[in-house]
C-alpha cells in the first residue's frame, strides 16, 4: 500500500492508502465513480483512457490511465472529462463535438476531448500559422483510436473552434 493524494478537476482527494498495483483507471472509475474515463485496449494503445495532467509551469499533457499505477499520480493535478463543463455549460470544444456529430458510440470521446483541450490551451499560448493548422491538429490527435472511425469529424470539430477565434489561436 502507498499513500495517494492528488487534485482532480480542482478537487483534492486523499491522502489515502491504495494498493501499489491499482491502476489509475480503476481508481477513477471504481473508487471515485468518475466513469467518464474509459477503458479500451488496456495496453496504452488507444488513449480512450487518457486524462489531462497539469504541470506547475502551466503546461499540460495527456496520459493514459489503463496501465499506469494510481500512485504515480501522487501530488499531481489532473483533469478528466467530468471537469470540462462549468456550471452545466459545455465548453466550446464539447459543443463543437456535438455540432459535428464527432462521436458515435462515444467510447473514445473523453480521450479526444482531453487531447483537443490541451491543444487549444497550447495554441492560446503559442499560436500557429493557419497553413500549419491541419498538420498541428493531426499531430495532436494522432494516437487516439476511434473504433467507429470518426476521425475526420473530430478534426473538423477542433478546427472549427480554432477558426471561430483566430486571433486567439493563430498567428
Residues that bind ligand FES in the complex, under the rule CB under 6 A: 39-42, 44-49, 64, 66, 103-108, 146-148, 150
First to last CA, the chain: 49
Q: Which is nearer to ligand FES, 116 or 150 (CB)?
A: 150
Q: Which is nearer to ligand FES, 4 or 24 (CB)?
A: 24
Q: Which residue is it, cell 499506469?
A: 68
Q: Which three cell numbers stand for residue 115?
A: 487531447
Q: Which is nearer to ligand FES, 91 or 104 (CB)?
A: 104
| Min CB(159)–ligand FES separation in Å | 18
Distance (Å, rounded) from C-alpha 109 to C-alpha 148?
11
| Min CB(101)–ligand FES separation in Å | 10
Distance (Å, rounded) from C-alpha 162 to C-alpha 156?
10
Nearest-CB residue for ligand FES: 66
| Min CB(77)–ligand FES separation in Å | 20
| Min CB(60)–ligand FES separation in Å | 18
Contact call for residues 157 and 93 (beta carbons, < 8 A)? yes
Neighbours of 2 (CB within 10 A): 14
Amino acid at each position: 500500500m502507498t499513500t495517494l493524494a492528488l487534485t482532480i478537476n480542482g478537487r483534492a482527494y486523499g491522502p489515502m492508502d491504495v494498493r501499489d498495483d491499482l491502476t489509475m483507471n480503476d481508481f477513477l472509475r471504481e473508487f471515485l465513480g468518475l466513469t467518464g474515463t474509459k477503458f479500451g485496449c488496456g495496453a496504452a494503445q488507444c488513449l480512450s483512457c487518457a486524462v489531462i495532467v497539469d504541470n506547475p509551469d502551466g503546461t499540460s499533457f495527456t496520459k493514459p490511465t489503463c496501465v499506469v499505477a494510481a500512485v504515480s499520480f501522487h501530488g499531481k493535478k489532473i483533469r478528466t472529462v467530468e471537469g470540462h463543463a462549468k456550471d452545466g455549460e459545455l465548453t466550446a470544444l464539447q459543443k463543437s463535438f456535438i455540432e459535428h456529430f464527432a462521436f458515435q458510440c462515444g467510447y473514445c470521446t473523453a480521450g479526444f476531448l482531453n487531447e483537443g483541450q490541451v491543444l487549444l490551451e497550447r495554441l492560446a499560448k503559442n499560436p500557429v500559422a493557419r497553413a500549419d493548422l491541419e498538420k498541428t491538429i493531426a499531430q495532436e490527435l494522432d494516437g487516439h483510436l476511434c473504433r467507429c472511425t470518426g476521425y475526420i469529424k473530430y478534426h473538423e470539430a477542433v478546427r472549427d473552434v480554432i477558426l471561430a477565434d483566430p486571433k486567439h489561436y493563430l498567428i
